[in-house]
Amino acid sequence: MPYFSDQTFQNFSAADFQIGEYEGCTFVGCNFSNLNFHGCSFENCSFKNCDLSNSKVSQVSFRQVKFETCKLLGVHFNAANPFLLEFDFQNCQLDYCNFFNLQLKKSIFKNSRLREVDFSQAELGGADFQGSDLTGAVFDRTNLEKADFREAINFRIDPERNRIKGARFDLDGLPGLLSNYGIKIG
């Protein structure tokens, strides 16, 4: 399998991409939508202004991977290799993604759009959701202890079905925590 280290790939399309191991690489302005990444490994890599919508990530390794201003609609990250999985999403569109049952402690989902995302049974202790839109996101039996939801909007989290001890919320976020109780605020 080809090995790539400390390289920058600009404006690549799915046809230009090679299955392989990528370490310390940067992908800028690439369109990898609908690409099957099966067999790839990414370590200390970053994706900037890329489209990975509907890409297949079954058994793909993501170790310390950063996505900035990327479009990742409908990606089933729950199929990725769970070993040492670590993400940093900033200013990304992650609508309809699946993170079911993943260990994602201290992962970053900052200033991103996370509509209809499935976080059921995920380990998200210490995760950062600051400034993100969580419309329709599913949190069910999710560990959100010490997670940061300041400035996040449109979330609904049932404190009885999720662990939220030490999580941070703005006062504006109270309706998202109390909606199951029929309590009206304001």
Quick one: what percent of the chain has pLDDT higher than 70?
96
Contact 27, 50 (CB under 8 A): yes
Which segments within the chain are labelled E, that is strand?
3-5, 8-10, 21-23, 26-28, 41-43, 46-48, 61-63, 65-68, 87-90, 108-110
Over the stretch 138-158, which tens digit does the pLDDT of each residue have?
999 999 999 999 999 999 999
Contact 19, 37 (CB under 8 A): yes
pLDDT band at 79 (very low <50, low <70, confident <90, very high): very high
Over the stretch 96-130, which tens digit does the pLDDT of each residue have?
999 999 999 999 999 999 999 999 999 999 999 99
The fold of 1-98 is: Pectate Lyase C-like (2.160.20)
Residue 185 has pLDDT above 90, yes or no: no
Over the stretch 161-177, which tens digit does the pLDDT of each residue have?
999 999 999 988 777 78
* Domain boundaries defined on the chain: 1-98, 123-185
